[in-house]
A and B are shown apart, each in its own frame.
Chain A
């Protein structure tokens, strides 16, 4: 007998003989703000508690300037020298990412700029699929991550997030909630454990 048949056979022979139907899962989001503005404010608040940075561009400020304002003092080198890999049309960057790039070649990226497919107000999370990432590893090998998020794409909570169809279509879907972090050494919170050292989210309407 194959291991598969053995295991399935043992499961069927031993499993508890009871009829336990799957429960319906409610959405639990009646208490969330109905309007975009308040939901975005809630998202920004939760993102901040998870160590992320919320950057709302001031009137007339372009995204390149917003980017510089957010990261200039975090790089440990002049902003002009930073390797910026951008996947969004709004920011030019100075390094391209192509679908067939060997992931290890992305190790020199200082700042990756990506667009999130949606956000979750409950936790301040942003979601990506392989489509937004182009090369999945860029979101982890880069030193800093900058994320454009359309406020119209913020859902209330995790139940609503999982009702979206992204998960069925994509090979890889990931929530980022703040930067890489660890508290493995005596409970001290350290940001920038193995992945990005900072995560900045900038509100930016998607060009349809």
Chain B
């Protein structure tokens, strides 16, 4: 096909292509605490990948701003979206019952799963009943949460990801690093190497058009041969009993419309009451995510197609528990756009895999600890608390306040590592006393001046990792300056090197 022809200017020999190997941050073993800082450092050890990641993720944020600024009512839409979600979540029981009744009336089979294991079992049963051996699947963060592909591997049912990015990650045996762009941490040279090995494409050709074409050609026969199709859902509408899936590739529509059997996994928080509400969310979703006015495909499924069969699995997996958490229930409003990730300085520089969890970035900091407080106890500290995530969130979740809230909860529940606990407890005492604080600043400034490097940059001082300590001011502390220049009656301010 003409679109699959390589572009010689873009191949791997070009000056712009990198040969730097892809960084692979270590993943914490089962039962161990994720060490975000250490994995982030491993990612940053590949400077070209780190720079490419930062640039691309920030480009999405920039495009998001441009879209938002073209819409006069943008802030009103965010407020409406937030209010619709609050209304739905405070009446979630009745809306789920309404959704279920309407879906059943449309001929859809509805199942309920308390957790990931139950979700996987239910779908396994459906597949066994239908003799399903191979499945084409659209991207679903919920299925990632449930470890669905891993489970199906174990029972010998082949799952084929149809989203290009998710397929890249599946072929590479790696988790997605971004909820919207799963391989955003990879450079095209990485994809060229991977596809050469797995799909037999030309290893020296890393033109994105060529690579996307290679995957299209390799996947098409698998799509035509599949016994079942799977999708997630971006929204479920109580009023119609239908659900909405948004993709750019049209791969959800292939997965749902080519095989006769369609199974959709839907988190119970995806509900909205009315069709009319969709206008608000569709206008916000892709503009917030990628900075495009809408995804190329917005698909509304309300019943099985002619001659087909449709199943929905409604999944809780910790959501009802979070609904009962005073400080954290509003995180259930999340529509998985990824805007908070794209704007976060920590995410942009550390890469999604360093979070070692289904959800990376700011939303990961507030979702993952509710799944496993110990394993993810470090994550809420991977934030500057600058609040940018909250400012771009299309459903107005107070993300940075919840990050701070999780720090408190994790400390109270005894999940913090020893060094952090000790350092924070000492800091707490010092900061509580003005006199102690002044003494500490003086001591620190003096220490910074006189201590040798090894005493400052070591494992005990997290602030010395990856950054230089500030140069202490020449003329003492602010307090010293204030005493000299203000308390002694002088009015002329000297703003030299001691002003900070």
Q: B101 at interface (Cβ–Cβ under 8 A)?
A: no
Of A33-41, A54-62, A78-86, A98-106, the one touching chain B: A98-106
State whether the Cβ of B394 lies closer than 8 Å to any Cβ in chain A.
no
B258 touches A3 (CB 8 A): no
Sampled A-B contacts (9; CB under 8 Å): A3-B118, A8-B93, A8-B96, A76-B1, A140-B258, A173-B302, A174-B298, A177-B297, A192-B212
Q: A177-B297, A178-B296, A190-B208 are in contact. Are A184 and B258 (CB under 8 A)?
A: no
A180 CB–B CB distance under 8 Å: yes
Say whether B250 contacts A140, CB under 8 Å. yes
Interface positions, chain A 146-172, Cβ under 8 Å from B, are 157-163, 167-168, 170-172
B212 touches A185 (CB 8 A): yes
Picked from B3, B72, B168, B276, the residue with its CB within 8 Å of the CB of A162 is: B276
Contact segment of A64-72, A111-119, A122-130, A200-208 = A122-130
CB distance from B433 to the nearest CB of A (A): 38
The 8 Å CB contact of B257, one of A103, A161, A192, is A103
Given contact pairs A3-B114, A172-B302, A193-B250, A136 touches B257 in the complex (Cβ within 8 A):
yes
Contact, CB under 8 Å: A180 / B248: yes
| A180 vs B248: C-alpha distance when bound (angstroms) | 6
Cβ-defined contact, A185 with B191, below 8 A: yes
In the complex the two chains form, is B307's CB within 8 Å of A100's CB?
yes
**A residues less than 8 Å from B73 (CB atoms):** 26, 28
**In the bound complex, do residue A194 and residue B216 qualify as a contact, i.e. CB atoms below 8 Å apart?**
yes
Contact B282 A158 (CB under 8 A): yes
A7-B212 in contact (CB<8A):
no
How near does chain B come to A45, taking the closest CB pair, in angstroms?
12
Contact A7 to B114, CB < 8 A, known contacts A15-B93, A25-B80, A184-B182 = yes
Q: Which residue of A lies closest to B57 (CB)?
A: A187
List the A side residues contacting B1 at CB < 8 Å: 76, 197
* B302 close to A175 (CB less than 8 A): no
**Residues of chain B contacted by A23 (CB below 8 angstroms):** 80, 83-84, 87
Within 8 A of A (CB), among B209-243: 209, 211-213, 216, 219-220, 223-224, 237, 239-240, 242
Please give me the 9 A-B residue pairs with the lowest Cβ-Cβ distance, nearest first.
A14-B324, A195-B250, A184-B165, A188-B208, A10-B320, A171-B303, A193-B249, A159-B279, A136-B257
Interface stretch, picked from B287-295, B453-461, B475-483, is B287-295
User: Does A95 count as interface, using CB distance less than 8 angstroms?
Assistant: no
**How extensive is the interface on chain B, given as a class?**
35 or more
**Total residue contacts A-B, CB cutoff 8 A:** 266
Known A167-B240, A171-B106, A190-B209; contact A11-B268, beta-carbon cutoff 8 A: yes
Interface presence of A53 (CB below 8 A): no
Q: How far is the CA of A104 from the CA of B191 in the complex (A)?
A: 29
Please tell me which one of the listed residues B249, B296, B301 contacts residue A172 in the complex, with CB atoms under 8 A apart. B301
**Cβ < 8 Å to B, chain A residues 1-19:** 2-4, 6-8, 10-16, 18-19
- B323 close to A11 (CB less than 8 A): yes
Q: Which residues on B are within 8 Å of A, measured CB to CB?
A: 1-3, 52, 56, 59, 72-73, 76, 80, 83-84, 86-87, 89-93, 96-97, 106, 112-114, 118, 162-165, 168, 181-183, 186-188, 191, 208-209, 211-213, 216, 219-220, 223-224, 237, 239-240, 242, 248-251, 253-254, 256-258, 268, 273-280, 282-283, 290, 292-307, 314, 316, 320-321, 323-326, 329
Pick from B59, B90, B106: contact of A187, CB under 8 Å: B59
What is the distance, in angstroms, from B265's C-beta to the closest C-beta of chain A? 14
Contacts of B307 in A (CB 8 A): 100
A42 part of interface (Cβ distance < 8 Å) = no
Closest approach, in angstroms, between the C-beta of A42 and any C-beta of chain B? 12
Collect the chain A residues with CB atoms within 8 Å of residue B294's CB.
50, 123, 125, 158, 175, 177
Chain B hits for A15, CB < 8 A? 89-93, 323-324, 329
Partner of B114, one of A6, A139, A176: A6
Q: Could you tell me if A194 and B93 are in contact, using CB atoms closer than 8 angstroms?
A: no
Q: Which residues does chain A contribute within 8 Å of B182, judged by CB atoms? A: 184
By the criterion CB–CB under 8 Å, are B253 and A182 in contact? no
Residues of A within 8 A of B268 (CB): 7, 11
- Chain A residues near B186: list those with CB within 8 A: 185-186
CA of A76 to CA of B3, assembled, Å: 9
A195 touches B302 (CB 8 A): no
Which of these, A28, A50, A186, A194, contacts B249 with CB under 8 Å? A194
Nearest chain B CB to A139 CB, angstrom units: 7
Q: State how many angstroms separate the Cβ of B418 from the closest Cβ of chain A.
A: 33
With A15-B323, A168-B275: A184-B183 Cβ-Cβ less than 8 Å: yes
Q: Is the CB of B306 within 8 A of A195?
A: no
- Our pick among B257, B276, B323 for the contact of A140 (Cβ within 8 Å) is B257
Q: Complex formed: what's the CA distance from A120 to B72 in Å?
A: 18
Contact among A14, A183, A193 for B251, CB-based, below 8 A: A193
Q: In the docked arrangement, what's the CA distance between A12 and B94, Å?
A: 9
Cβ-neighbour of A194 out of B181, B211, B254, B292 (below 8 A): B254
> Closest CB-CB distance, A206 to chain B, in whole Å?
22
Q: Which of B72, B93, B211, B306 contacts A130 (CB 8 A)?
A: B306
Q: Which residues of B contact A124 (CB under 8 A)?
A: 293
